[in-house]
Amino acid sequence: MKELKTDLLIIGAGPGGMAAALYAKRSGLDFIIVEKNMAGGQIINTDLIENYPGFLDNPSGFELAQKLSEHCKKFEIDIMEYFSIDKIEEADHKDGGKTYKFKSTGSDSYIYSRALIIATGAKPDRLDVKGEAEFIGKGISFCATCDGALYRGKEVAVVGGGDTAVEEALFLSNLVDKVYLIHRRDELRACDMLQCRARDNGKIEFLWSSVVEEFVGDEKLESIIIKNKNDGSTRKIAVAAAFEYVGWEPNSDMIKHLVDTDQKGFIIADMTMKTSHEAIFAIGDVRNTPFRQVITAVADGAVAAMYVDKYFLEQG
């Protein structure tokens, strides 16, 4: 079994992870950054980013991810893409001190790191209703930017009431004939600007205080059964697709045996991004943050990297 050593391991190369890498590089830290998929994280699937400072042309999430990757390359930061980690273990390294070891899936090498920055993000929650599992990829999607063009000129549904749900409903309205926006409350949670745009959009119909009871179809999704929470009535809506935006589930399985998490599994971290366990930091969507935005993830990454540097200076 081969052994490799580094001072810092950054797991995840979304905006937060790449920001952490840039600050770690500037601090002269010895580090490795790995990513399970393609660098960029969830923003790759975002159609338009209007609120990232300094980008007046409103780039797509993919374009912003490319810019961040190019910035890393400029500083000779090598992002190890498609590098999957099974589980992180605590270990006493032969050189002394507290270390953490991990092995990539299918690898015969252990890598030891003195500190960790967990930037693994989160994945979409599911509704867990009848027919959902059957029609994922056959009409049910979690990314309008990815799949919206498949349903040009048709009627679709969006489930959710937050920023992402409304943003994607607006995006879809440019492609389809009609968007049913299904929300379990009687008002949206999205920001005022997005709410105004959605209400002014003639292609979006709001179904308030409603939940999805069942997804129906033969070989692909054909309709949705909706239940009104106030009066218990049901309604069947013919749609070609449904896009779900009902929350997030943290990608914390590899580390939650070592750190404190909340009830949903989001890692609890303080204002320095430090977790309950020594030299483990959590940033971005995987931590218990009140906001999950590109800019907050980037800020988390910068803070974490600076406090990792401070930690090493204190350790001597």
Radius of gyration of the chain (CA): 22
Closest by CA to 80, choosing from 117, 124, 34, 121, is 34
Is residue 228 scored above 70 in pLDDT? yes
Q: Give the pairing type, strands 155-159 and 85-92.
A: unpaired
pLDDT tens, residue by residue, 294-307? 999 999 999 999 99
* pLDDT band with cut points at 50, 70 and 90 for residue 106: low
235 DSSP β-pair partners: 226
Q: Indicate the burial class of 253 (C-beta count within 10 angstroms; 0-12, 13-18, 19 or more).
A: exposed
Torsions phi, psi for 129 (to 5 deg): -120, 170
Catalytic residue ranges: 143, 146-147
Higher pLDDT, 112 or 31: 31
Domain spanning 2-123+248-315, CATH architecture: 3-Layer(bba) Sandwich (3.50)
pLDDT tens, residue by residue, 164-177? 899 999 999 999 99
Torsions phi, psi for 283 (to 5 deg): -135, 160
pLDDT at residue 94, rounded to an integer: 55
HSE-CB of 106 using CA atoms within 13 angstroms: 3
Cα 56 from chain centroid (whole Å):
24
Q: How far is CA 118 from CA 122, 137, 192, 251, 253, in A?
A: 11, 29, 32, 10, 11
Q: How far apart are CA 103 and CA 122, in angstroms?
A: 21
Is residue 190 scored above 70 in pLDDT? yes
Q: How far apart are CA 211 and CA 213, in angstroms?
A: 6
For the chain, residues classed under CATH 3.50.50.60 are: 2-123+248-315, 126-244
What's the pTM value of the predicted model, to 2 decimals? Answer: 0.81
110 DSSP β-pair partners: 3, 103
pLDDT at residue 274, rounded to an integer: 97
What CATH code is assigned to 126-244? 3.50.50.60
